[in-house]
Amino acid sequence: MEGDSTTAPPAVQPTEAPKEAQPTEAQPEARPTEAPNELAAGIAEPPPAAPQQPQAPLAPLAPIFSRWRWLTIIVLVGFGLRALYALWLHPIGDYLYSDMEGHYHAAQAFADPRHVFSRWDIVKPRAMGFIGGFILSHFKHGGLQVWGGLQVLLSTATLPLTFIFTRRFFGRRTALLATAFLAINYLPIGFAGYLMTETYLMFCLALSAALLVPERPLLCLLSGLALGVGCLFKPQGLPLLPLWALVVFFWPLPGHAKRSFAEWLRAPQRLAAVLLVIGGACAILPESMAVSRINGHPTLLTPYGGQNFYIGHCNVTKMDMNGSFFAGVPKVYQRNEPWPDVAFHVPVFDSAFYVEEGMKCFRQSFWGSALWVVEQLADCFAGWPGSTIDPWPIPQGWNSITRPFNLLIAYVFFPLAMVTLWRRRRDRGTWLGFGAPMAAVWGLAVIFSGDPRYREPFDLFTIAGGSWTLLHIWDHWALPRIAAELAKRSRPVEASPEASSQVSPGA
Amino acid sequence: MAVRVSLLLLALGAVASCKPLEPDPVIKDGVDLGPIQSFEAERIPGQGPHVGNINDSSASDGHALGIFSQRTVAQPLELLTEVSGFVVRAKGQECKGWPEMLVSIDGVPRLRTEVKNAGWKDFPGLAHLKPGRHLFEFSFTNDYLEGPSCDRNLFIDKMTFVNARATNSGDLRAVSMLLPGGAEVVDDARAPGGKVVGFMSNSEATGETQLDRPMAGFVVHARGEDCKGPPQMNVTVDGVDRYSGMVEARGWVDVPVSAALGPGLHSLSIAFPNDLFEGPACDRNLFVEGVHFLETMPADAGPRGGSSDGG
């Protein structure tokens, strides 16, 4: 796998290389010192291959295990935590609320062979209902545990996929560190236990990123398809598709030689970008056509996008649409703003009406709207200065353990990832691995509203980007100091009079 | 640097001084499509044992605000659109008299009424308010207590706002009235305009109209859906009960209401107080198309069939 061409190094342009050295696959992060350190050794690149030695019959497996043992351990730990939480501590159906309740009841309805599909079946992600319905209809007893098991497996599968794409974009050690943090991060563990569509979107995002090799158009087609499937579960993945396509389309060609425009256009990256979009469209368009047909007017994926837009831009606490569909933004309850509830005598399906109403609020005050947008950007990282919401704290329901992980991502990984983006700004892989996903998160915040829930599935990219700088700090700042300190402490012992007196000059 | 600071200050100044536009309510085919703004009274913070949130399954959201002694509670609210009035849903607990409720907006008294009902009732008031923040105050002015068995209290469920628009004149279409939760706009090809109001659960619609000449009364164009009995319809004009009766016809009928009304602005409310639902096969509902004013009332005071299928 290491030698697989799909893991080809990102095309680092010698001409574009920044002044500081940019570690890539071809040039893995180099440690400045060889000072012994167990942690560093644990995630370090293996030493160069030794000359071939005669080995025992079972010996070939040993180097493979040695090479993958850390990833294996990380994945096993991640699996154990997820299984413990989703199957034992918090089994599906044990506690239902909001989206989870919607998916649960949709699955139960879809599992019923007498169910007559109606217009209302399209107001929740169908993909979730169909999966749940399929499982519940085929596993009468323990169907919910089987569903929980699927959640666990998908969430666990996200780990090696994250390793693959992070290794390609940021290097192997960064990939191990990022995967290790993701394995113990409570947020995806909670998503698995709470039957949330985030689990499916995160899996699809990781799979899509793992398949995103700009030099391989066919893999990019599959990457787009994976992202499109993720959007069927959670449409918030959609903005990433054009952003990734844009980065891949403008992927530079290796070498210094000047090329004609035709030659540039014929490069596989250009085709890869187009196929990426086509792959995504293959998953998204059939669903959108079906929803449009039921809805009676063109609709992209979700029939309630207009309502989301309205509630994102108008100062309201709760919306009632024709007495049959209600919506609220959790963060508004926290803000305790003096905002009214609103009722419309218009069905939720009329997205165009709600977008128009939302635009009225947007046009009310340009500067007020600009300030609001800035707030939304900050609100993606709840708890930030300037954000209007607490770092997660829906009372009763979300355990407080969510809070430290959210804070860690907001205050540690995100700033570090931004540093990574700046330091590696000329490396397109960094834009695929963090820049574009972060732009997608903020794009959603601007169009709809800033909410940590819109960010959390994309955390795997933030963790990957942040891990690179974290290792960089460890290698270039912490480790030399630790080594120097160790050396300083050991020197007086060697140089002490007692020590020197024990060594006879003639010895 | 100075340029950046200037730009920042300019932006901040613009934010502070920007006067909001006034988005108009959406009126389409006479139907107010919203946003109909409201707020739940129980969101007003409690004040010890005197004011607090109570559970009431018949209130919207299952909660209401209880005021148990002579107190004034206040709540700021940001209105999105211009409004011309409001409706407060309240009920009282009697003890040698009913509670009196005073509603003030921005310090100006707008509604003072005796809440003489043990069940929820809508109390309309007039107030022309611009979009933006306003302070709403609710006062319970005449508390009385004679022990646990006799305690006069006031309960407020919610406040709903009437969007500002050109005042209706003459006949009043039901879809143009303020429709709180429980009343919906539904399609009915047999009714003029094709849209009527369906009272699907206990609710009350409120409207206003300007009359240019004296009227002897009006007819309410309505029909009912029976479930172990027909729906009841109560009609109030200018706060005075004018009609209360069953709407037994499944087809459209004109229900005559005698009420001598002079020229000027009048408020009118139609209530459906006896909802019953026992599944799709048994659902008691009331449908109203509108109110048509008459200069002379017909001699026959009983309901008349108003359409070919009326009965």
| Residue of chain A nearest B175, judged by CA positions | A345
The Cα A245–Cα A426 span in angstroms is 17
The Cα A228–Cα A211 span in angstroms is 13
The Cα B188–Cα B31 span in angstroms is 14
Whether B144 contacts chain A with CB within 8 A: no
Structure tokens at A132: 């749940």
With an 8 Å Cβ cutoff, are A341 and B179 in contact? Answer: no
DSSP state of A84: I
- Model pLDDT for residues A209-256, shown as the tens digit of each residue: 999 999 999 999 999 999 999 999 888 899 999 999 999 999 998 877
Check: CB of residue A424 under 8 Å from CB of residue A16: no
Residues B159 and B178 in one domain: no
**Mean pLDDT within B227-242:** 91
With an 8 Å Cβ cutoff, are A340 and B161 in contact? Answer: yes
Q: What confidence score (pLDDT) does residue A172 get? A: 94
The dihedrals phi and psi of A43, each to the nearest 5 degrees, come to: -115, 20
- Residue with more model confidence, B65 or A493: B65
Best probe of the B interface among A345, A362, A369, by most B CBs < 10 A, is A345
Whether B102 contacts chain A with CB within 8 A: no
- Among B128, B144, B163, the domain boundary falls at B163
Among A389, A123, A326, which residue's Cα sits nearest to residue A235? A123
Judged against a pLDDT cut of 60, whether residue B27 lies above it is answered with yes
Which residue in the block uniquely carries the two structure tokens 């009364």? B217
The Cα B29–Cα B175 span in angstroms is 9
Q: What confidence score (pLDDT) does residue A315 get? A: 86
With an 8 Å Cβ cutoff, are B37 and A341 in contact? Answer: yes
The Cα B51–Cα B251 span in angstroms is 47
Among B286, B283, B289, B284, which residue's Cα sits nearest to residue B272? B286
Does residue B122 lie in a domain region?
A: yes
Residues B181 and B294 in one domain: yes
Residue A7 contacts by C-beta under 8 Å, 6 or more apart in sequence? A1, A25, A164, A167, A168, A213
The b/e string for A45-56 (b: 16+ C-beta within 10 A; e otherwise) is eeeeeeeeeeee
Best probe of the A interface among B15, B27, B43, by most A CBs < 10 A, is B15
| Residue of chain A nearest B20, judged by CA positions | A364
With an 8 Å Cβ cutoff, are B181 and A322 in contact? Answer: no
Residue in B11, B23, B32 nearest the CB of A364: B23
Residues B180 and B292 in one domain: yes
State the nearest Cα–Cα gap between B33 and chain A, in angstroms: 5
> What are A's interface residues with B at a Cβ cutoff of 8 A?
314-317, 320, 322-323, 337-346, 353, 357, 360-361, 363-368, 370-371
With an 8 Å Cβ cutoff, are B34 and A315 in contact? Answer: no
Residues B258 and B218 in one domain: yes
Structure tokens at B84: 């011309």
**Mean pLDDT within A408-421:** 94
Least reliable range by pLDDT among A377-386, B38-47, B60-69, B160-169? A377-386
With an 8 Å Cβ cutoff, are A357 and B35 in contact? Answer: yes
**pLDDT band for position A462 (cuts 50, 70, 90):** very high
Does residue B11 lie in a domain region?
A: no
The b/e string for B244-272 (b: 16+ C-beta within 10 A; e otherwise) is eebbebeebbbbbbebebeeeebbbbbbb
DSSP state of A457: G
Check: CB of residue B33 under 8 Å from CB of residue B26: yes
Among A89, A90, A92, A112, which residue's Cα sits nearest to residue A100? A92
Check: CB of residue A352 under 8 Å from CB of residue B33: no
> Is residue A355 classed as helix, strand or coil in its secondary structure?
helix
- Among B139, B163, B187, the domain boundary falls at B163
Check: CB of residue A332 under 8 Å from CB of residue A276: no
Check: CB of residue A120 under 8 Å from CB of residue A349: no
Judged against a pLDDT cut of 50, whether residue A2 lies above it is answered with no
Does residue B261 lie in a domain region?
A: yes
> Is residue B186 classed as helix, strand or coil in its secondary structure?
strand
Q: Which helix (H) or strand (E) holds A492?
A: helix A479-495
With an 8 Å Cβ cutoff, are B79 and A340 in contact? Answer: yes
Check: CB of residue B224 under 8 Å from CB of residue B287: yes
With an 8 Å Cβ cutoff, are B33 and A345 in contact? Answer: yes
**pLDDT band for position B48 (cuts 50, 70, 90):** confident
State the nearest Cα–Cα gap between A374 and chain B, in angstroms: 13
Which residue in the block uniquely carries the two structure tokens 């570690």? A23
The Cα B118–Cα B90 span in angstroms is 9
Least reliable range by pLDDT among A4-13, A424-433, B228-237? A4-13
Looking at beta carbons, which residues of chain B come within 8 Å of A343?
Answer: 34-36, 38, 181
Residue in B20, B21, B33 nearest the CB of A344: B33
Structure tokens at B306: 């108003």
If you count residue pairs, one on A and one on B, with CB atoms under 8 Å apart, how many are there? 88
Check: CB of residue A110 under 8 Å from CB of residue A130: yes
Which residue in the block uniquely carries the two structure tokens 């060697």? A494
The Cα A217–Cα A240 span in angstroms is 18
State the nearest Cα–Cα gap between B105 and chain A, in angstroms: 15
Residue A140 contacts by C-beta under 8 Å, 6 or more apart in sequence? none
Does residue B97 lie in a domain region?
A: yes
Structure tokens at A37: 């350190």
Q: What is the pTM of this model?
A: 0.74
Check: CB of residue A441 under 8 Å from CB of residue A452: no
Looking at beta carbons, which residues of chain A come within 8 Å of B33?
Answer: 344-346, 353
Q: What confidence score (pLDDT) does residue A503 get? A: 43
The burial class, CB within 10 Å (0-12 / 13-18 / 19+), for A377 is middle
Check: CB of residue A279 under 8 Å from CB of residue A220: yes
Whether B133 contacts chain A with CB within 8 A: yes
Judged against a pLDDT cut of 60, whether residue A177 lies above it is answered with yes
State the nearest Cα–Cα gap between A371 and chain B, in angstroms: 8
Residues B117 and B176 in one domain: no
Looking at beta carbons, which residues of chain B come within 8 Å of A355?
Answer: none
Residues B143 and B222 in one domain: no
- Model pLDDT for residues B183-194, shown as the tens digit of each residue: 888 888 888 778
Does residue B38 lie in a domain region?
A: yes
Angle (deg, nearest 10), helices A186-193 and A61-83: 60
Residue B225: strand pairing partners = B285
Q: Peptide bond before B35: cis, by omega within 30 degrees of 0?
A: yes
The b/e string for A341-372 (b: 16+ C-beta within 10 A; e otherwise) is bbbbbbbbbbbebbbebbebbbebbebbbeeb
Residues B143 and B194 in one domain: no
Query: Which of residues 32 through 51 in chain B touch A, CB cutoff 8 A?
Result: 32-40
- What are the angstrom distances between the C-alpha of B133 and each of A360, A388, B111? 18, 19, 19
Check: CB of residue A111 under 8 Å from CB of residue A133: yes
Residue type, B208: E
> Is residue B295 classed as helix, strand or coil in its secondary structure?
coil
Residue B272: strand pairing partners = B203
Q: What confidence score (pLDDT) does residue A501 get? A: 46
Residue B66: strand pairing partners = B52, B155
| Residue of chain B nearest A365, judged by CA positions | B20
With an 8 Å Cβ cutoff, are A342 and B35 in contact? Answer: yes
Does residue B22 lie in a domain region?
A: no
**Mean pLDDT within B129-133:** 91
The burial class, CB within 10 Å (0-12 / 13-18 / 19+), for A330 is middle
Residues B202 and B276 in one domain: yes
- Residue with more model confidence, B8 or A336: A336
The dihedrals phi and psi of A21, each to the nearest 5 degrees, come to: -65, 135
| Domain assignment of residue B290, given as a range | 172-305
Which ranges constitute the DSSP H helices of A185-299?
186-193, 198-211, 217-233, 240-249, 261-266, 268-295
Largest CA distance in chain A: 102
Among B110, B105, B109, B102, which residue's Cα sits nearest to residue B134? B105
Query: Which of residues 69 through 98 in chain B touch A, CB cutoff 8 A?
Result: 75-80
- Model pLDDT for residues A308-324, shown as the tens digit of each residue: 888 888 888 888 887 77
Structure tokens at A131: 């999966």
With an 8 Å Cβ cutoff, are A344 and B35 in contact? Answer: yes
Q: How many residues does chain A have?
A: 507
3-state DSSP percent of chain B in helix, strand and coil, to 5: 10, 55, 40
Judged against a pLDDT cut of 90, whether residue A178 lies above it is answered with yes
- Model pLDDT for residues A12-54, shown as the tens digit of each residue: 333 333 333 344 443 444 444 333 333 333 344 444 444 455 5
With an 8 Å Cβ cutoff, are B38 and A342 in contact? Answer: yes
Angle (deg, nearest 10), helices A366-379 and A351-364: 110
Looking at beta carbons, which residues of chain B come within 8 Å of A322?
Answer: 184
| Residue of chain B nearest A360, judged by CA positions | B23
Residues B158 and B45 in one domain: yes
Whether B305 contacts chain A with CB within 8 A: no
- Model pLDDT for residues B2-19, shown as the tens digit of each residue: 555 555 555 555 544 444
Looking at beta carbons, which residues of chain A come within 8 Å of B34?
Answer: 342-346, 357
State the nearest Cα–Cα gap between B281 and chain A, in angstroms: 18
Q: What is the CATH number of the domain that holds B273?
A: 2.60.120.260
> For residue B195, how far is the Cα from the chain centroid?
19
Among A70, A163, A74, which residue's Cα sits nearest to residue A433? A163
Residue A100 contacts by C-beta under 8 Å, 6 or more apart in sequence? A194, A195, A196
DSSP state of A481: H
Residue type, B249: A
The Cα B61–Cα A501 span in angstroms is 87
Whether B18 contacts chain A with CB within 8 A: yes
Which ranges constitute the DSSP H helices of A84-185?
98-111, 126-138, 143-170, 172-184
> Is residue B105 classed as helix, strand or coil in its secondary structure?
strand
With an 8 Å Cβ cutoff, are A345 and B32 in contact? Answer: yes
Residue in B32, B76, B184 nearest the CB of A322: B184
Residue A464: other Cβ atoms inside 10 A:
32
Does residue B146 lie in a domain region?
A: yes
- Among B120, B135, B163, the domain boundary falls at B163
Q: What confidence score (pLDDT) does residue A502 get? A: 46
The Cα A384–Cα B14 span in angstroms is 25
User: ipTM strictly over 0.85?
Assistant: no
Residue in A340, A343, A371 nearest the CB of B77: A340
Total domain count, chain B:
2
**pLDDT band for position B301 (cuts 50, 70, 90):** low
3-state DSSP percent of chain A in helix, strand and coil, to 5: 65, 0, 30
How far apart, in Å, do the first and last CA atoms of chain B sit? 81
Looking at beta carbons, which residues of chain A come within 8 Å of B40?
Answer: 341
- What are the angstrom distances between the C-alpha of A251 and each of A10, A261, A269? 10, 14, 6
The Cα A356–Cα B311 span in angstroms is 43
Check: CB of residue A31 under 8 Å from CB of residue A47: no
With an 8 Å Cβ cutoff, are B80 and A314 in contact? Answer: yes
With an 8 Å Cβ cutoff, are A338 and B80 in contact? Answer: no
Residues B210 and B122 in one domain: no
- Residue with more model confidence, A329 or A484: A484
Whether B136 contacts chain A with CB within 8 A: no
Residues B64 and B133 in one domain: yes
Best probe of the B interface among A314, A341, A363, A374, by most B CBs < 10 A, is A341
